[in-house]
A and B are shown apart, each in its own frame.
Chain A
Amino acid sequence: MERLLKLNRLMPRWKVLESRSRFLMFVLEGTTESFVRVLLRIMTEEVPTIAIHEVVIETNSSFLSDSFLAQRLRFIPLTSDLANLMYYSTECPNCNGRGYCHLCSVEFRLSAKCVAGDVTSKDLVTSNPSVLPFDFFDPTGTAIVKLKPGEELTLKAIARKGIGKDHIKWSPLAATSAKYFCPSDIRINEELMETLTLEQKKQWVASYPTDLFQVDPQTQKVVLCRPGNGYHNMPLNPEARGVIEVFEKKDTFVFTVETTGALKASQLLMNALAILKRKLLSFRVLEDHFLDHDLAGIDKLDSEN
């Protein structure tokens, strides 16, 4: 850890352990907790996605009130690969920030009349085929409301681009679905280990799960079979406390991300890195114009003293 703080620039290494469309688990090695924490914050708060922002209800005779219904619609994750190309509705040059054109909004229509089964996210008809409820091709979809005979529901919903800092519905992560921990590793105390005879060593090794330790046939030393594998919850034999030591690797993080379905997990990570970079650059460019006179001032002050 102290070694890392002295380095001028970190060069972290990735190792992807598991990658499915919505789920990603990776190891980030050679970085500090502060960086990992920042990555997590950017992913939760600042990666844009698309979510329903405005609901116009034409008829609603279901048992749910209008505002309740709007709330349910808002939290349906929409596939947001398009979010990078869309405008925020307030900044859209095409419609002067009104937020209803095809560059900054997607319109959904829903009309249902006492259907067999629930009204689900599959009943939302989109105006842009690449923005869909994330479970549109699932057999069930997300339930919105159940209608009784004679009840009717017609509405129009406008989805816009936004970030999680504005409202949690735009956050691509579900509440606790991104987390990290430092994996543990085992260090063998060689001096103490050498006081054991070969027979004792073999017994000692046999008291642990197979393949964890082995006795090297040539040097007769006890070695760890798979170093750096994360033994964070291994029960320790109390008699062996002095011989081996379990420690946390403070510069390595096992990171798990699971998205709501709005973005692919790997895409989310790449977007987060790009956003952090853009943020940093936005300070640097603005630096230059007051570099000249302010730095000159410092030099003068230096020579006076």
Chain B
Amino acid sequence: MNAPDRYERFVVPEGTKKVSYERDTKIMNAAAFTVEREDHTIGNILRMQLHRDPNVLFAGYKLPHPLQYKILVRIHTTSQSSPMQAYNQAINDLDRELDHMKNAFEV
């Protein structure tokens, strides 16, 4: 009865942004991205891709609570890059990897 609706897990509520971005006030070049309605699937792959970036000093994600359907991705980069740049770069690289896989697959 009190159980939350299952669709809340993957439908972004109206008026909420899919991604929000918050800069760290104490550390230079550090920021936290909140991605709504995503889980380990995206968190893990994004983190692994960020680790490949030589300018990224720290990248990690967490799922704050099983009933809060969002992930937090924290990125800390060197001064050569910025969290936003690293984040976009990681998505672009993953996107190209997927394109490559799709083209290379044949049955």
In chain A between 28 and 84, which residues have their CB closer than 8 angstroms to a CB of chain B? Answer: 32, 34-35, 37-38, 41-42, 45-46
Instruction: Name the interface residues of A1-33: CB closer than 8 Å to any CB of B.
Output: 5-14, 16, 19, 24, 32
Write the nearest CB–CB distance from B86 to chain A, whole angstroms.
12
Of A129-137, A147-155, A241-249, A269-277, the segment with at least 4 beta carbons within 8 Å of chain B is A269-277
- Main secondary structure on B side of the interface with A: helix
Q: Which of these, A8, A266, A273, A297, contacts B98 with CB under 8 Å?
A: A273
Chain A interface residue bracket vs B: 35 or more
Contact of A191 with B by CB under 8 A: no
**What's the minimum C-beta distance from B51 to chain A, rounded to whole angstroms?**
6
Contact among A7, A12, A280, A297 for B52, CB-based, below 8 A: A7
Mask: chain B, 21-62; 1 = CB below 8 Å from A; 0 = not:
101000011000001001011101100100111000000000
Return A132 CB to nearest CB of chain B, in Å. 23
Interface class of chain A by DSSP: helix
A149 to B73, CA, bound (A): 63
The range of chain B's interface size is 35 or more
Chain A residue numbers with a CB within 8 Å of B93 are: 8-9
* B96 touching A9, Cβ below 8 Å: yes
Q: Is A283 within 8 A of B96, CB to CB?
A: no
Across the A-B interface, how many residue pairs have beta carbons closer than 8 Å?
111
Q: A124 an interface residue at 8 Å Cβ cutoff?
A: no
Contact A90 B21 (CB under 8 A): no
Residues of B within 8 A of A298 (CB): 23, 29, 82, 84
The residues of B that contact A12 with a CB separation of less than 8 Å are: 97, 100-101, 104
Contact status of A291 and B84, CB under 8 A, knowing A13-B104, A284-B91, A302-B79: yes
Cβ-defined contact, A290 with B23, below 8 A = no
Inter-chain contact B101/A16, CB cutoff 8 Å: no
**Min CB–CB distance B88 → chain A (angstroms):** 6
Select B84's contact among A270, A274, A279, A294, beta carbons within 8 Å. A294
Q: Is the CB of A295 within 8 A of B104?
A: no
Asked whether B97 lies within 8 Å of A11 as measured between CB atoms, the reply is yes
Name which of A6, A19, A273, A280 has the most chain B CB atoms within 10 A of its CB: A280
Select from chain B the residue with minimum beta-carbon distance to A9: B93
A163 within 8 Å of B (CB atoms): yes
B68 at the interface (CB under 8 A from A): no
Asked whether any CB of chain A lies closer than 8 Å to the CB of B107, the reply is yes
Known: A277-B98, A281-B95, A286-B17. A167 touches B84 (CB 8 A): no
1/0 per residue, CB under 8 A from A, across B66-107: the answer is 000000000000010010100110011111111111101111
Q: Which residues of A contact B101 (CB under 8 A)?
A: 12, 14, 273
- Docked pose: A10 CA to B51 CA in angstroms: 13
| Chain B residues near A216 (CB-CB < 8 A) | none
B52, A35: Cβ atoms closer than 8 Å: no
Asked if A301 is an interface residue, CB under 8 A from chain B, the answer is yes
Q: Which B residues lie within 8 Å of A250 (CB)?
A: none
B6 close to A (CB within 8 Å): yes
Q: A11-B97, A165-B6, A291-B84 are in contact. List 10 more A-B contacts (CB 8 A).
A: A5-B52, A32-B48, A46-B41, A166-B7, A166-B9, A269-B105, A284-B88, A286-B18, A287-B84, A294-B21
Q: Can you list 10 A-B pairs, Cβ within 8 angstroms, ordered by A?
A: A7-B52, A8-B53, A8-B93, A14-B105, A166-B10, A277-B99, A279-B42, A280-B95, A284-B95, A286-B19
Residues of B at the A interface (CB closer than 8 Å) are: 6-7, 9-11, 17-19, 21, 23, 28-29, 35, 38, 40-42, 44-45, 48, 51-53, 79, 82, 84, 87-88, 91-102, 104-107
| Top-8 shortest CB links A-B | A34-B48, A41-B41, A38-B45, A266-B107, A277-B98, A9-B93, A19-B107, A284-B91
